Amino acid sequence: MSVNWHEIVLSTKWLARLDHQAIKRFGQQGLAEEASSYVLEKLAKNNWACCNTYIGKAKPETFLYTLTGNLLEEFSRKRFGRPRPPEWLKREGELWVSIWKMVCLERQGVMTVTDNLCKLGNREPHFIEGIIRTIKARLPWCGSSHREIPVSAVCAYEQKDDNHTHEIEDHSIAQQLNAQQLEDTLQLMAQLLVFISRPSDKVKFTECALTMNHEQLDNLYQSLELSPEEQLLLKMAYQEGMKMNAIAKAMNLPPYQPGRLLKGILKRIEHALNDANISTQDIQSLLQGSRE
Amino acid sequence: MNKPISEETLLGKIALLAHKNKQSAFGETPSLEELAMLYDNQLDFNRKQEVLSHINSDPLLFEQFMNLVDVMYDNTTANQHVAESKNSSFTQLLSWLFSWKGLTGSVASASLVVIIVLQFSPTSPLTPLIEQPSYEANHEASNNGSKNGTQTASFISPDKRAIAAGIANASNDNVQQLKQLDLSIAINQQGSALEANIYQQYFQLGELLAEWEQLCRQDKGANTVFIQQFSLTINQISTESFIPVHQNLVKLSQAKQPEQACDLLQQFLLSEF
């Protein structure tokens, strides 16, 4: 399908949006301008060759924004390298990795990152601040110098990244669920999770010292089943910290719907855990105990 | 010391942990254009499930989709802010007209008509659908006319009809208070003079009002998320609809105390229905 990309991309409106997107991504004006130029150059290269994958099904503007987002990330990789984030951080979800990139590698200011990620109210600032605090507590080198970090240094720091102090408020679920004190008591939960991820282990699981019968296990298994939409909803709410209205927009739902859907999913999970004699209060007090 | 994580967050994270590696992605890997189509809601149901399964299992795709979501949210919200500021100057003008002591009601009404005509010129995307009155609306008007002899049907604004439909839809049979309201004015989307998306917003507002009423009955205040949803709906209506939002609804969205909110809600329901 033939689209006049030249006309769309070089329009004042689209250029202003590109600048806005770059500023939001990199925080600093100079770097953002450099990134915008990189994107424009890449888009226009070989007579808009990278737009050739467009087959005319999506809106051209939405397609362009997807392309632009990828090119901005490509720019960041070229400029700052491709260091691997620590494993514990990856477990927390993609938002943590993005913030780690912004704060530790690109050395954007905490305020800038918080403002950019919460601009127009799609997230609560304290959610982002909590993540930054945890990352900085566990990775003391993060954002401390203005020179670029060699990849080897990042890998070396990865080895030491668990030497953090417990006095600093730690929002990572890994810290909360992997603490030494919890290992024995959460074995039940771990077995449960293993069982859920590998239903073929059901017989093995039922042989362990649990007071659950087949019916309870079946119910638990079914109740924790999530559709792709439900899984994305949970990720947006609990990993990305997005507000309900932002989730509704992202998933093409009426504004009241995500809240109701989440309520339903959580109720289902809570009932399933209760039926299997696991209460959230018990888990909560175990988590509390591990941190004291 | 760490703050305890909320029960909701705990359950949500347990569900995500439990689900990790449980299901692998199915179907072909989505292209960039398909990500854009997902955002624009242009994929058919089956393909949508496949694309979502890939997004859930591939961190890179998830990041790409979240980048798109962020940018598009910025764009729509920025547009909304422009519209809100335009709208607020319009509402400021209206409030000035109505608060001017010397102005009579008839002059105010005439001014309102002139402003509406100027504000919503034929090129405006917010122009109400008035050229093709629906079959249902005509039918209802003629029925009312025959009941009342030569009288024509009294005019009930379309926003009130759509809100009534939302309330009727969400009302629980056990709630006496809502049953006492005259919801016979409710009209469905096909019968409404409003554009479909605006009708939906009023309908949702009606549902939220019914839910809030039930919370008040149970002496429970609405939580922050609920109030945010309500305010968002009010804001969207203020921006997109040509009918000014009822003042009590605006006050309701800004009420600080649960008791005050319940009183305002009661006043609105009793005076309007």
Q: Residue A3: its pLDDT value, please?
A: 85
Residues 62-121 of A with CB under 8 A from B: 62-63, 65-70, 72-73, 90, 94-95, 97-98, 119-121
- Planar angle of CA B92, B125, A250, nearest 5 degrees: 90
Query: What is d(CA B199, CA B211) in angstroms, rounded to the nearest whole number?
Result: 19
Span A1-25, pLDDT tens digits: 678 898 899 888 889 889 888 988 8
> Quick check: A249 and B233 CB within 8 A?
no
Six token digits for residue B85: 């500021």
* A282 vs B164, higher pLDDT: B164
Query: What is d(CA B142, CA A114) in angstroms, rounded to the nearest whole number?
Result: 59
Q: Residue A171: its pLDDT value, please?
A: 54
Q: Which amino acid is at A152?
A: S
Q: CB within 8 A of B127, min separation 6: which ones? A: B120, B121, B242
**Residue A152, min C-alpha distance to chain B (Å):** 23
Task: Give, in order, the Cα–Cα distances in Å from A92 to each of A76, A230, B1, B20, B177.
Answer: 22, 18, 20, 12, 47
Angle at which helices A29-48 and A60-80 pack, to 10 degrees?
120
Backbone dihedral region for residue A49 (phi beyond 0: left; psi -120 to 50: alpha; all else: beta): alpha
Q: Which amino acid is at A91?
A: R
DSSP assignment string, B196-262: HHHHHHHHHHHHHHHHHHHHHHTT-PPPHHHHHHHHHHHHHHHHH-SSPPPHHHHHHHH--SHHHHH
pLDDT > 70 fraction of chain A, expressed in percent and rounded:
67
pLDDT band at A159 (very low <50, low <70, confident <90, very high): very low
Helix residue spans in chain B (DSSP H): 7-19, 32-39, 45-57, 59-99, 105-119, 135-147, 158-170, 176-179, 196-217, 224-240, 247-254, 258-272
Q: Residue B242: its pLDDT value, please?
A: 76
Q: Residue B179: its pLDDT value, please?
A: 64
Q: Which residues of A touch B198 (CB under 8 A)?
A: none
Q: Which residues of B touch A224 (CB under 8 A)?
A: 15, 18-19
Residues 205-224 of B with CB under 8 A from A: 207-208
Task: Give, in order, the Cα–Cα distances in Å from A256 to each of A199, B166, B225, B227.
Answer: 35, 13, 9, 10
Inter-residue contact B70 to B47 (CB < 8 Å): no
pTM, two decimal places: 0.54
Inter-residue contact A165 to A125 (CB < 8 Å): no
> Quick check: B68 and A55 CB within 8 A?
no
Task: Give, in order, the Cα–Cα distances in Å from A13 to each of A60, B75, B76.
Answer: 14, 11, 14
Q: Mean of the per-residue pLDDT values for chain B? A: 72
pLDDT > 70 fraction of chain B, expressed in percent and rounded:
63
pLDDT band at B146 (very low <50, low <70, confident <90, very high): very low
pLDDT band at B9 (very low <50, low <70, confident <90, very high): confident
